[in-house]
Amino acid sequence: SPSGSFHAPPGSPVAQHGHIQVVGPRLIDSHGVPVRLRGMSLFWSQWGGKYWNSRVIKWLVKDWKISLLRCPMGVEAGGYLQKPRAEQRRITRVVDVAIRLGIYVIIDWHDHNATAHSKKATDFFDHMSKTYGKYPNVFFEVYNEPIQQLWATEIRPYCQSVVETVRKHTDNLLICGTRKWSQEVEEASLLPLKGKNLAYTLHFYAQSHKEELRVKARTAMANGVAIFVTEWGTCRADGDGTVDVLETTKWMEFLEEYNISDANWAISDKSEACSALQPKASVRGHWPVSHRKKHSRSTNSRLFAHHGGHHASHHAVRRHGTGGLTDSGRLVRASLREWSASHHAWGTPTPKNSSGHSPGRGDAEDGDDDKDDDDDDDDDNQKTTTSTTSRQDQDIVSAAAPLARVWALACSACLAIGLSVVWAGQSPW
């Protein structure tokens, strides 16, 4: 872990907000100001570990403007239970990078059966909280998604045990999953955990979960507990389907209204709708924005439908290469960048007078990639696609765009993409 008397970089989210605490249903920073953190989730560590590196995280901070990174450490199916040392090294590597960059980071016990692995989980969080509890950056998500386990007699006792273990070392934020893939937050609010700085997990996927889940969240918050959306997708609950722009817009407006922090699923090149990256995207970041996913016909039609009345050509879309951002990736990146531009630093609204689900398995990895990659200049068995990066730093949306109007963001994003390709001497359609 970072050594000595480490201080967050000036101007970074952690330098601005410091230690986060829960007061009623809200997250409050060290100055007593409500805060909302926004960012991305990595993919299951045992299958998406190639993106668990410093270059990717630095790019997400620089280009996507994240203030939060979620690190879902896989537990079963070749994860921590089978390879504890490799998985712990992988977690340590990315948490250290997040601390040095001054962003918040969630250590996630990514498990559907944590109650069956209670001893392993308790020992893991004992070590992690002892190692990282002194840093305000680090949050602990102790149970990703329970399924049908009962809250009162299974999930709650497990979470309470981990809470007591972590509290021996730190009072940093601790987040507990709720029943039925972390959706039954109102049930947890009726029999909450004992302790302070505790939040409850809500997960949603826009194409599958709609107003009925927002009603549950409102009920939980009215009962006085804090909600943290540690995982959400623009698509269907199984990670695939199509990008649901309209319902994503409603969810973004809901999260903004209630100041709920969130991390989008996921930085992955798995061939499914919720992946932010196209297959074979670089493991070093710097992903082209303007490449379009070959098979996303229905999504492309919706994203590009408002360009002066012109619709996207399906044939033209198919001619674009791979390796950049998917429809979901472009949409989420635009939302994060707009949020950052509309707020002073990260999380605090800019004054008006200022100038300014269970995803599929994927391809398994052998766990031998756990060496430090900070200064590694060797090839990553794939080349970074750079044909359209000359305009990648161009803002997709104006800072004056209405906050969290994701539909407008999507249209603006695609217009900028089209213009960038035209300027490069190519036809966008």
Asked whether 235 and 242 are in contact (CB, 8 A), the reply is: yes
Asked whether 47 and 274 are in contact (CB, 8 A), the reply is: no
Residues pairing with 34 in the sheet? 28
DSSP 265: E
- Tokens, residue 284: 């070093």
Amino acid at 322: T
Give the SS3 label for residue 106.
strand
Q: Is 87 a catalytic residue?
A: no
Kindly give, in sequence order, each residue whose CB lies less than 8 Å from that of residue 362, ignoring residues fewer than 6 positions away.
43, 44, 47, 48, 268, 270
Kindly give, in sequence order, each residue whose CB lies less than 8 Å from that of residue 36, ignoring residues fewer than 6 positions away.
27, 255, 256, 259, 260, 261, 347
Nearest CA to 109 out of 98, 95, 124 is that of 124
Of 87, 145, 184, 272, catalytic: 145
Of 231, 247, 272, 338, catalytic: 231
Q: Give dist(CA 241, CA 259) in Å, integer.
A: 28
Q: Give dist(CA 347, CA 200) in Å, integer.
A: 20
Q: Give dist(CA 64, CA 78) in Å, integer.
A: 30
Enzyme catalytic residues: 145, 231
